[in-house]
Structures are given as C-alpha cells and as structure tokens.
Structure 1
C-alpha cells in the first residue's frame, strides 16, 4: 500500500499564513484602461493582479473617478496610464492622490510609433467644434472656453497652430490609441517590466520571464493579424470615429474616413449627409459602428448604398479583463474587418 503523505494539523494554518503573506507581498498596481491592464496583467502573472479604473463598457473619454478608484490610487505603489491626452480625468487625481506612487505615462515609452491626427479629406477636422453640429452644441463648445480639450486629446483648431499652447502642459498633438499597434504594445510592455522590477525587485525574475513570453506572443499576434487582413486590406471602409489609425498604419489597411473624430460629439445632419455621399463616391465597402454607441448614425450613412455595417471595439468595452484581453481585442478588430469587407 503506497505511503500517504500527511501534514500535521498545526502546519495547515502555517501554510495558509504563508500564502497570505505571498499575496500581501505583491505591490498595489493600478492601471487606467483595459488594454493597458491586460499588458500589465500578463507581466504580473504569478505575482499579483493589477487594479483597473475604467472597467466595463466605460470610456476614458467620459469617465468620472469613483471613490473606490481614488482609494486605489492612494494605496498604489505603481500607476500605469497612457497619459493626459487620453485619460484627462486622471491628471488632477494623480497629482493629488498618487503622490506616493511611481506614475508612468506610457505615451512616453521609448520606441513608440506616434502618428499625428488626421485632418482634411474624408476626415473631420480636429477642432472639437463640428461646423455642422447643432447650434446648441456649438454654444456649449463656446461656453467651454478657448483651447478646450474634448477628453480625447483633440484641442481646438487654433491650438494646432500654436506650438507653445499645444505643449505648455506637455501634451503632444498625436493620436492616443497607441495600443492598436502590437509593436507599440511591445514598447509599452518593456517600460512596464522595467518599472515593476524597480518597484518590486523580489519578483524581478518572474516579471522578466513573463515579459519575454508576452513579447513572443505579440510577435506571433502581429504575423497572425497581417495574414488575417491581407485579403481585404485594399477595400476602403468608414469608421464611427477615427480610432484605428495605428492598426491601419501597421497593416496597410485602407480607411476612407470617419463619421466623427470624437465619440462624444454627435455630428450634425450636414456632416452625416457628407459622409453618406463619400461612402458612395469612395466606394467604401463597410461602415463600422462601436458597441457602446447607437448604430443609428451608421444605418443612416449606409442607407441607399452598397456598403455593409460592422462593429469594431477599439477600447475593449465588451471584453473580459485579464492577460488575454489584448490579444482578443486585436484579433476581434482584424476578424470583424475581414468578415465585413470579405462579404462585399
């Protein structure tokens, strides 16, 4: 009869205590949005779980900090966010609550590809005051004052012609959806790893091993997505808002334009009519909505054209958090594009 290993009763509480001490040793790490949370989660596997501020279907463009978020920032040893151009709601709370934490703006990661805002042509000018929006919206924008930021990093048009004003708070005029290029994810992951190793050297080997695994997976993901979209990359399409430039740039995809640059600014009738015309003129094969916004505008844009509608989710609004989210997000965008564009 095989020997049975028994653990003395007094040893069980000791083992449980040791496990709780292991969990307590993990530093409190806070992340801003789901894609960043996913990258940090992958690197922290086996050590701890980072906290997430913008959870569920919430958007960083319109988010209001909750008391639980404020507590997390106060307790944090490390905070990762893209930066004030994207999560404007975090700028002042981080100054007030995150003073004891290492606060890392990933938009400053070395090696990032940064793309300027697109203006002109089929794209709406980034001036936060759509000339075709309703008079009430125009009045609201005027009341907000000159140099208003819409929370999406889009300064009013005059700010783009004034370098001093544009950079006086350290905000650059670039598209902030940086994570939609896996090579940018690699650059951000490198900074995340360095920061975690410095903050928690006891777990350095785990962080570094996880980072190597993540880097290899991102390389494979890049090749996979390139193959997925290759058959449809020359078919033009229109998006609800201009959030996909990094994805398009990386994979040579042909975008025809966007309905609006800011998902919080509802375009007026003239803007919708203009896009409707351009869908026909440019031969756009698909118009993509986003899960957190009503598809009504997209339906109006494609009415009477041969274009189809699809859904893209640039901020992972509908996805479950965790280390796999980033990969699900990128694959989802690629597969949605292929499915919609292949059927036209």
Structure 2
C-alpha cells in the first residue's frame, strides 16, 4: 500500500458543504488535504434555513461550496464570487409524489438517500477537487475509490438489514424517503403530509386512521419528538419511530453518511418488525 501525502507548502482550498450528508462525502474525498466546513449544523428545516451572521462569515472565507440545489438551499443564488457546485445536476431526479415543500420543478431533492446517487456525487466531488487542486489529484482519486467501495458495502449491509421487512407497509409524516424506498424496495403506503409539520388537524388524523385500518399498517415514521408525540393519540395500534433524515444525531465527518444511512435502515427494521398485541389494538372505526 502506497502512502499518499499532500504537497508540502500548499494551502488547500477552503470548502463548505451545506448539509451533513454532503459534508460527510466531501470530507471523505478530501481526507488528508482539506477540512470542509458544515454550514447548516443540526438544522431540520433546510428549505426555510436563514443564514446567520456566522454562516455569512464562513461563506465569505470559502472558495468552493457544495450544495444540493437552488430549490433546496434557497440562499445559494445570492452567493457571489464563489465556486458553486450543484450536486443535483449529476443525478437523475425522481418526480415528487404529490405536493411537497422541497420541490424543484416537481423534482424530489432528497437525493442523498440513494446509494447510487451518493456514488455519482462522490465522482462529481472528486472531479471538482481534482480540477481546482490538480497537485493532489492522486489523493482525491484514491480517497474517492475508497468511498465508492464503502458505499457498495453499505448497500449490501442495508439490504441484509431490510431483507425480512420489505413487504410490510408503513406511512410517514413527511414524504422525503422515496430514493431510499425505491433503492431498497420498501413498501411505502402513503404520507400524511408533504412536510414534517407538528400541527396535525383532526381531519388529518381521521385520514391517517383510515389508511392504517385499510392497509393493516403497524408503523409510522416521524422526524421529530414533537411530531411523534402528536401521534400518540392513535394508541398502541401502531409503532411510531423517528427517522433522522440528515444524520443530525451523528458526529460530523467522513463517516457520518454511512452511519446515517445504516441507522435509517435499523429504524425502518425496528418499526416494521413491531408485533401488535391483539388485546391492545384500538378500534379506530368506533
């Protein structure tokens, strides 16, 4: 094995990645050369994100910014004189399923949830870094190859985790997971809302009750504890679990993407394997 070292006396480009999954992939490809900065730390509302003064300082001191899409990170078009790398341009976007708050010409922008998309983004990240820092091209290329191999192994591991629960139906409170669902063959039955809203109406609860009863659904996925608590009114008929869409529960860095994706799989499995005790089922048709 050859040890690759960065060029001595060289100052690396200052790199920003907007969200945690992208920051992780950029960190992995640039490992040993640069230390990318995560812009939107612990943010669950990407589409409504408002730049803080500290964010503006980070942006002003950066050279390259990796992001998903102008229709996701709405502040991007306002940034001038930086190298802006839109990662949605390197993947095939799926259409949204109905109305969604994260919409780019009716395209679903949660692209990081597909391992295939992740590999395409890694290649794009590698090519950009090689272009603007050719002195360290060999290191970026070697790092990217390692990441691509890890994504293949991740896909294999997740397939093993989900093998026995693929056919079980579930619903989500936020329709954000179709890249993950389609890649791993999960049985999505519907979504209560296009957003992770905590304001759940009586009408919405009535709707979800009917869907649960009709499809024998035992699992609901929410995205926040507050959202989850709103559904406790459904009693013990369903298991309610929280999905971490952005990996905010993970420490940032080159391994965060892999931990986030694997933890999503574990959460899906845990919820879908839920066994209902018949005597505790609430009669929702009363």
The TM-score, its normalising length taken from structure 2, stands at 0.88
Residue-pair matches, total: 269
Of 37, 43, 67, the match for 2:23: 37
Contact 2:198 2:230 in 1 (8 A): no
For residues 51-90 of structure 1, the aligned pairs below 5 Å read 51-88=37-74, 90=75
The alignment partner of 1:204 has SS state of helix
Contact 2:22 2:66 in 1 (8 A): yes
Distance 1:179-1:172 versus aligned 2 partners, 3 A rule: same
Displacement of 1:57: 4.0
Of 327, 331, 342, the match for 2:258: 327
Q: Aligned partners of 1:69, 1:331: CA distance in 2, in Å?
A: 29
What's the counterpart of residue 237 of structure 1? 170
What's the counterpart of residue 284 of structure 2? none
What's the counterpart of residue 93 of structure 1? 78
Displacement of 1:210: 0.3
- RMSD, aligned CA: 1.9
Runs of 4+ in 1 over 4 A off after TM superposition: none
Contact 2:170 2:219 in 1 (8 A): yes
For residues 15-164 of structure 1, the aligned pairs below 5 Å read 25-88=11-74, 90-94=75-79, 98-99=80-81, 101-109=82-90, 112-119=91-98, 126=99, 150=101, 152-153=102-103
Displacement of 1:291: 3.2
Of 218, 228, 244, the match for 1:313: 244
Q: Aligned partners of 1:45, 1:256: CA distance in 2, in Å?
A: 40
Displacement of 1:311: 1.4
Of 268, 274, 283, the match for 1:337: 268
Q: Aligned partners of 1:203, 1:264: CA distance in 2, in Å?
A: 45
Pick the structure with greater CA Rg.
Answer: 1
What stretches of structure 1 of length at least 5 have no aligned partner?
1-18, 120-125, 129-149, 154-170
Displacement of 1:264: 4.5
The TM-score, its normalising length taken from structure 1, stands at 0.74
The C-alpha deviation readout for 1:188-236, integer Å capped at 9, x for no partner, is 1111110011111111111110000000000111111111101001000
What's the counterpart of residue 286 of structure 1? 219
